Amino acid sequence: MKIDINGKAHDVRGPMLADALEELGYDGKIATAVNEAFVAKTQRAAYVLKDGDRVEVVAPKQGG
């Protein structure tokens, strides 16, 4: 399935958001949104992606 992550096209195998993130090497503390709707960490394993979805992944940064 083809999805966009942070504006770049990717092919992923699994339909679940958590599986796609793992497949693409995302780990640690991140925030996710699909088609501009926030998806909580606890919902990623059950969130089914569709072809063409737009995923945003944001990692918090510390500092000042």
pLDDT in tens, 25-42: 998 789 999 999 999 999
pLDDT at residue 8 is higher than 90: yes
Global pTM reads 0.89
The domain ranges of the chain are: 2-58
pLDDT in tens, 49-62: 999 999 999 987 77
Helix%, strand%, coil% for the chain, nearest 5: 15, 35, 50
Structure tokens at 43: 């919902």
Mean pLDDT of the chain, nearest integer: 93
Structure tokens at 47: 């969130």
CATH number of 2-58: 3.10.20.30
The angle subtended at Cα 12 by Cα 51 and Cα 34, nearest 5°, is 55
pLDDT of residue 2: 97
Cross-strand bridge partners of residue 8:
5
